[in-house]
Structure 1
Amino acid sequence: MASSSSAVVTPAPGNRRALPGPRAGTALTGRMFSALHDRNLVYNASWEDPALDRAALRPGPDDHVLVITSGGCNALDYLLAGAGRVTAVDVNPRQTALLELKAAGIRRLSHGEFFTLFGTGRAPGAREMYRDVLRADLSPPSRRFWDGYIEAFTGRGWRNSFYYRGTSGLLAKGLMLYLRRFQGVGPDLEALLDAPTLDRQREIYESRLREPLRAVSRLAAQPLALSLGGVPPQQRREIAEEYPGGPARLIHDGFEAIFGRLPVADNYFWRAYITGSYTPSCCPEYLRAGNFGRLRELLPRLRMRTSTVTSCLRSLEPVERVSKFVLLDHMDWMGWSDQAALAEEWQAIVDAAGPGARVIYRSAGLRTRYLEPVRVRHEGRVRRLTELLERHPRLAARLHAQDRVHTYGSFHIADLAAAR
């Protein structure tokens, strides 16, 4: 990132000892993570529950939402939720390409064709559909990517669904193969998804799946698996230091909530990774037939950018102030490894925020200690960032308990406000 003279990053003298940063991990794990993420599509779908975001943000026609693109699902969800404008930004051009393909499909395909691609995840005619209908709607970088990757939708090979592609999809497919072939619980997973009541679902989980999934938790906590799932060394260290039991326990506790306490009937996140597909009744809002026509009308409100959050915000015109920021968990990635970049990003957020702007973000850890040293310039003064954040921990905790994904340690909601 380019440096910014308005970002003040020097921590208070007393904070250096009080806030030791997690180590980034070994050089080998760092290189492994970079090798995977610098060359690949990482997220084939958004892995954050937009139901929480809707409740936390309550977007309306006057709102401009900025969101990190990821799989693009939630950027489309915010349009359906009523946002006046959505800017989706991601430093990975492959994530932008995925959202561009979804937008092209919404504009050019029937709902049935669109659902075959992004709902079923397997479309034998995907190459022809792409060549004849979708390709012309894409930017040149996105065309180059999909020219070589559209076969991900054809349903061929052992990764026979788009939802088993990308690095996160490779992890999902590997873990499902382990459960089905080595643990023999494929029928139990299907029974879990089809359970008619929460009591029956809980019974299946506790009697047949808890121990196999405990083993999966240990496998998924290994460095290679976490790298495939988009967890860099810095974030792994954050989990190890802040979550009792570390990554394996975080994953296991997530399974306890997802399958033992929350109804799985509408949990399209885990259905896609267990089966490789959504169903018409268990899918993201952007895939529902009743939303398709409206979403096509709303697409002009969506803008896509491939850049850092900071660069994107710096490029906005004064009239484009942002009222809602959705930062996902990316601050975990940069919080301890690049405090200067983190402070620069927050300076850009403060500068671009409209009155009463709200920020939501997630973390693998239980706290976000890396925000405490950050300083920004606000109304002509250098201030601690934490003085400008009016947090809502009770609402955040209540919503986090309802999270259908449960891969994060914490969820945070804060309003940007003048110091009280």
Structure 2
Amino acid sequence: MSQSAQIQLDAAVLQDGDAATGWLERLFSRLFLGLVYPQIWEDPVVDMQALKIAPGDNLVCIASGSCNLMSYLTAGPASVTAVDLSPAHVALGRLKLAAARSLPDHAAFYQFFGRADMASNMALYDNYIRPALDPKTRAFWEGRHLFSRRISVFRSGVYRHGALGRFLGAVHLLARLGRVEFSPLLTARSLAEQQAFFDSRVAPLFDMWLVRKLSGFRAALFGLGIPPAQYDKLAADGDGDVLPVLRDRVRKLMCDFPIRDNYFAWQAFGRGYDPAPDAALPPYLQERNYQALRDHAGRGGIVNRSLTDLLAQEPDGSKQGYVLLDAQDWMNDAQLNALWREITRTASPGARVIFRTGGRADILPGRVAPELLGRWQYDAEASAQGTARDRSAIYGAFHLYRFAG
């Protein structure tokens, strides 16, 4: 990967902490040079309900696994520009956009990204997607990883790869050590059955010595994309102990939504999407949205840079929606204010900003300058609704701000 990508990641992650924290932050930034999220872990349905995307809207977002970028395009906005500091995430987003334009039908598109574990995906790549890729993205996917091309992860199961895939594999290993299999959860017929499974089988895992020991290491959650600064925010919700916070988030993921409706739970505990014909899927993978995605894929783009740098090149009042994921949890006050200066300058009247936080509290008051934040209105009701509806369940809160002008 390029030296410039490493410099950008270091600038985003490194804070003014002690030497031990600085070492962990540098380790984390190097992890992000590779693939972390094969699938994004923010619910795009919640995003789209809050953004209320209109045909003339120009949106900017942080890409991660690009499920959000792709899902927003199904609503037909004027444009969606995504950014990511990970070159691997940029390559994944460009692969998805190219596939939406070039694959022959929804069946092929779903096979490639919904199943993502079939040998015939290599023929789909070579015959359809490869010619539609820009040279840099093609070089990434055809570069060697161990003994095969990187694109071969779509033959072996892409959702088992990346830092998140490896983290979930470790979770399943710990569960097996505790003699827990997740198949009863995936076949549960009611929320009561899901709750009973959590109470009887999963909750005791949090009392295992190994789980308690591992949860005390800030690097233990790197596979979830959680740097030291965000780990500390999670621990603050547990009075300094991250374990009860993790227990509550896992309980929400398992118990607050019907398992048939929660593809995040399927990814975590089934290591893929539910194979049933009527299974829950991200909006961009749903057959009913395929034609809209194909029609609007040309309106999407993704670049390897920070959101602040991107917005600095955009005209005043040119954007209607901003999706920050949880990136602000990583930022110091100077970075937060630089970002919100550009957001405020480029926002049109009524523009919306959405983001998640690892902890429950909104991190902006008292940190973003009043002359900036004072021009925005926090929607507490919509934020609470988004928090409750977010099926990924791993964040403390969802937040929505509207630009007052």
Same fold (TM over 0.5): yes
2:340 matched residue in structure 1:
346
Q: Identity of paired residues, percent?
A: 33
1:170 matched residue in structure 2:
166
1:68 matched residue in structure 2:
62
> Does structure 2 retain, via aligned residues, the 8 Å contact 1:59–1:83?
yes
2:284 matched residue in structure 1:
286
Aligned positions of 1:135-150 closer than 5 A: 135-148=130-143, 149-150=150-151
Change (3 A) 1:343 1:260: same
TM-score when scaled to structure 1? 0.83
Give CA deviations for 1:84-143 in whole Å, capped at 9, x if unaligned.
321111122211111111122222223222222211120213333323321222222211
Alpha-carbon distance in structure 2 between the residues aligned to 1:287 and 1:24: 44
> Does structure 2 retain, via aligned residues, the 8 Å contact 1:33–1:232?
yes
- Residue 34 (str. 1) matches residue 29 (str. 2): yes
2:91 matched residue in structure 1:
97
Shift of 1:406: 1.4
Structure 1 gap ranges (5+): 1-20, 156-160, 376-382
- Residue 205 (str. 1) matches residue 201 (str. 2): no
Q: Secondary structure at the match of 1:26?
A: helix
Alpha-carbon distance in structure 1 between the residues aligned to 2:89 and 2:166: 16
1:386 matched residue in structure 2:
373
> Does structure 1 retain, via aligned residues, the 8 Å contact 2:237–2:245?
no
2:184 matched residue in structure 1:
191
Q: Secondary structure at the match of 1:87?
A: strand
Alpha-carbon distance in structure 2 between the residues aligned to 1:284 and 1:249: 29
> Does structure 1 retain, via aligned residues, the 8 Å contact 2:356–2:399?
yes
Alpha-carbon distance in structure 2 between the residues aligned to 1:25 and 1:83: 45
Moved more, 67-76 or 287-296: 287-296
The count of residues paired between Structure 1 and Structure 2 equals 378
> Does structure 2 retain, via aligned residues, the 8 Å contact 1:163–1:273?
no
Aligned positions of 1:10-409 closer than 5 A: 26-37=21-32, 39-109=33-103, 110-148=105-143, 149-155=150-156, 161-179=157-175, 181-186=176-181, 189-212=182-205, 215=208, 218=212, 219=214, 222-244=217-239, 246-278=241-273, 279=275, 280=277, 281-317=279-315, 321-334=318-331, 336=332, 339-369=333-363, 372-375=366-369, 383-409=370-396
Change (3 A) 1:400 1:302: same
Shift of 1:255: 1.7
> Does structure 2 retain, via aligned residues, the 8 Å contact 1:73–1:286?
yes
Change (3 A) 1:221 1:113: farther
Q: Secondary structure at the match of 2:117?
A: coil
Change (3 A) 1:217 1:245: farther
Alpha-carbon distance in structure 1 between the residues aligned to 2:215 and 2:80: 33
Give CA deviations for 1:353-383 in whole Å, capped at 9, x if unaligned.
11111111111122244552333xxxxxxx5
Alpha-carbon distance in structure 2 between the residues aligned to 1:361 and 1:25: 29
Change (3 A) 1:194 1:82: farther
Moved more, 93-102 or 103-112: 103-112
Give CA deviations for 1:303-327 in whole Å, capped at 9, x if unaligned.
2222110121122245x71111111
Structure 2 gap ranges (5+): 1-15, 144-149
Moved more, 56-65 or 40-49: 56-65
Amino acid at match of 2:194: Q
Alpha-carbon distance in structure 2 between the residues aligned to 1:143 and 1:246: 44
Aligned CA-pair RMSD: 2.3
TM-score when scaled to structure 2? 0.86
Change (3 A) 1:196 1:241: closer
